[in-house]
């Protein structure tokens, strides 16, 4: 099978979406009987990104897929051709936060979502979601039948494991781009209530979110090795995001043996199962109580988390992706 994979998002993104694309690609390219063609255009500039959205995805990419005689075209985000194509197209939905919380996104992202997002998803032969939560969201918000949506989850890189260097200090850890839906101000307030330093890992984003105040340290971007050491040294991961399609830091923390505090009724609750303390993300006191509970039950959470993290491998994700490709071709 000859599969074209859109890797254009990698020129702009280094966070969760990029982890999913690079992790899945690394496994797919090892599969016998599967020829993977990487497809991309342009650079990281804002004007180039807009051109990619309005020209490359709807017009140029379908021609590339046809010219390379692909069996399947896999668009790794919801940017994709606007109409059904001769080459079966699969579109990935990481999350639909832009529809649930449009005010949390830059103007161009909101405009693209209003005008194009549902059209690209409905035009696809099949849709890939990264969790059952995102699968249900896609069906509800985009009017796609559930039987057209496959789940290809995120996975954990080998660097995230219990053994290894441990960051020094007494601290809580938050991981995520500095943007509104990560809910960092409430995480900071919860850490203040709990009386513990909060260290924040993540790139500067949008929406005027800043990490300031007594008892909080912003570390910016770090390497995966540094992040794994921070997970291992933390009392717990505090991840009260208001909306995610999966929540990769939850899986990474569990793989490192770190207790997790995260949002109830969310994709993260699905990912963690019994291996996390679930809290009300809108209430800093609920988050602070969750931190206290996580510390009291750390051994149990660590045991459950290590077991749960074994579910999230790129081999299993690639199996699910290949099965989706085969359904698209049937």
- Whether 56 is covered by a domain: the verdict is yes
- Is residue 144 located within the same domain as residue 17? yes
Tokens of 40: 């991309």
Alpha-carbon Rg for the chain, nearest whole angstrom, is: 20
Max intra-chain CA distance, the chain: 60
Cβ atoms of residues 177 and 105 within 8 Å = no
What is the rounded CA–CA span in Å between residue 261 and residue 241? 10
Q: CA end-to-end span of the chain, whole Å?
A: 12
In the structure, what pLDDT confidence band is assigned to residue 11 with cuts at 50, 70 and 90? confident
Cα 222 from Cα 203, distance rounded (Å): 9
For 31-45, the pLDDT digits (tens) are 999 999 999 998 878
Provide the percentage of residues in the chain whose pLDDT is more than 70: 99
- Statement to judge: residues 17 and 151 lie in one domain: yes
CB–CB of 261/276 below 8 Å? yes
Q: Is the pLDDT of residue 15 over 80?
A: no
Q: What are phi and psi of 235, to 5 degrees?
A: -60, -45
Give yes or no: residues 196 and 218 share one domain: yes
- In a domain, residue 160? The reply is no
**Residues 95-100, mean pLDDT to the nearest whole number:** 92
Q: Minimal CA–CA distance to 312: which of 52, 102, 27? A: 27
Count of residues in the chain: 330
Domain range for 270: 171-309
In sequence order, which residues have a C-beta less than 8 Å from that of residue 94 and are 6 or more positions away? Answer: 16, 17, 20, 77, 78, 130, 134, 245, 246
Per-residue pLDDT reduced to its tens digit, 265-308? 999 999 999 999 999 999 999 999 999 999 999 999 999 999 99
Higher pLDDT, 42 or 199: 199
Residue 163 belongs to some domain of the structure: no
- Identify whether residues 136 and 149 lie together within a single domain: yes
pLDDT band at 14 (very low <50, low <70, confident <90, very high): low
Instruction: Indicate which CATH number applies to the domain containing 261.
Output: 3.40.50.2000
330 band by pLDDT with thresholds 50, 70 and 90: confident
Encoding tokens for residue 219?
A: 């570390």
Indicate whether 285 belongs to any domain: yes
Contact 201, 221 (CB under 8 A): yes
Average pLDDT over residues 50-56: 91
Residues 247, 324, single domain; the answer is no
Coil, strand or helix at 245: coil
Whole-prediction pTM value? 0.91
Across 152-162, average pLDDT: 96
Same domain, 214 and 294: yes
> 3-state SS string over 159-174?
CCCCCCCCCCCCEEEE
Domain count, the chain: 2
Residue 107 lies in a domain: yes
Residue 176 and residue 107 share a domain: no
Q: Tokens 């929540």 label which residue?
A: 247
């Amino acid at each position: 099978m000859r599969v074209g994979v859109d890797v254009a998002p990698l020129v702009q993104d280094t966070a969760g979406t990029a982890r999913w694309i690079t992790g899945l690609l690394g496994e797919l390219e090892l599969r016998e009987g599967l020829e993977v063609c990487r497809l991309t255009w342009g650079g990281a500039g804002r004007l180039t990104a807009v051109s990619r959205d309005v020209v490359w995805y709807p017009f140029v990419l379908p021609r590339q897929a046809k010219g390379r005689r692909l069996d399947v075209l896999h668009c790794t985000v919801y940017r994709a051709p606007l109409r059904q194509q001769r080459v079966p197209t699969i579109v990935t939905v990481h999350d639909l936060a832009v529809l649930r919380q449009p005010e949390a996104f830059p103007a161009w992202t909101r405009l693209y979502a209003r005008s194009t997002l549902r059209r690209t998803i409905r035009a696809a032969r099949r849709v890939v979601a990264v969790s059952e939560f995102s699968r249900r969201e896609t069906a509800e918000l985009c009017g796609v039948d559930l039987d057209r949506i496959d789940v290809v989850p995120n996975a954990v890189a080998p660097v995230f494991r219990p053994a290894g260097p441990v960051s020094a200090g007494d601290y809580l850890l938050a991981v995520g781009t500095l943007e509104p839906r990560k809910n960092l101000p409430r995480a900071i307030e919860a850490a203040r209530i709990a009386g513990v330093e909060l260290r924040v890992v993540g790139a500067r984003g949008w929406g005027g979110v800043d990490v300031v105040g007594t008892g909080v340290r912003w570390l910016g971007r770090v390497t995966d090795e540094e992040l794994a050491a921070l997970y291992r040294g933390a009392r717990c991961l505090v991840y009260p995001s208001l909306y995610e399609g999966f929540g990769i830091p939850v899986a990474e923390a569990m793989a490192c043996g770190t207790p997790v505090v995260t949002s109830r009724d969310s994709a993260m609750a699905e990912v963690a199962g019994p291996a996390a303390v679930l809290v009300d993300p809108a209430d800093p006191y609920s988050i602070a109580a969750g931190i206290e509970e996580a510390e009291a039950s750390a051994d149990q959470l660590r045991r459950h988390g290590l077991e749960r993290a074994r579910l999230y491998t790129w081999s299993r994700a690639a199996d699910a992706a290949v099965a989706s490709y085969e359904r698209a071709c049937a």
